[in-house]
Amino acid sequence: MKVRKGDKVIVIAGNNRGSTGTIQEVHHDKNRVIVEGVNLRYKHLKATQQSPQGERIRVECAIHASNVMYYDEKTKKGVRKRPDEES
């Protein structure tokens, strides 16, 4: 996998196409990444003594690593970044 935690990426396929964010987690075994603010889902939490009402929270779910591309701030587009070009 060519992306790492902390990389700025743009989503190139799927429902969140065009969204940008930084990578929060990388799951190498499943070839998936979690991008900040992308692929948000609701998680329902059961009522407990601390929160008697229960709650719904928004969490970022993983997307496939092939659906993201490095994001270039200058050109505002996705770029192909080669390992020798890293800086």
Domain boundaries, the chain: 8-79
CATH (one of 3.20.20.110, 2.30.30.30, 3.30.1360.230, 2.120.10.30) for 8-79: 2.30.30.30
- Residue 68 β-bridge partners: 11
The answer to whether the CB of 34 falls within 8 A of the CB of 24 is yes
Question: Which residues of the chain are modeled with pLDDT < 70?
Answer: 1, 82-87
Average pLDDT, the chain: 89
The pLDDT of residue 84: 43
Cα–Cα distance, 60 to 16 (Å, whole number)? 12
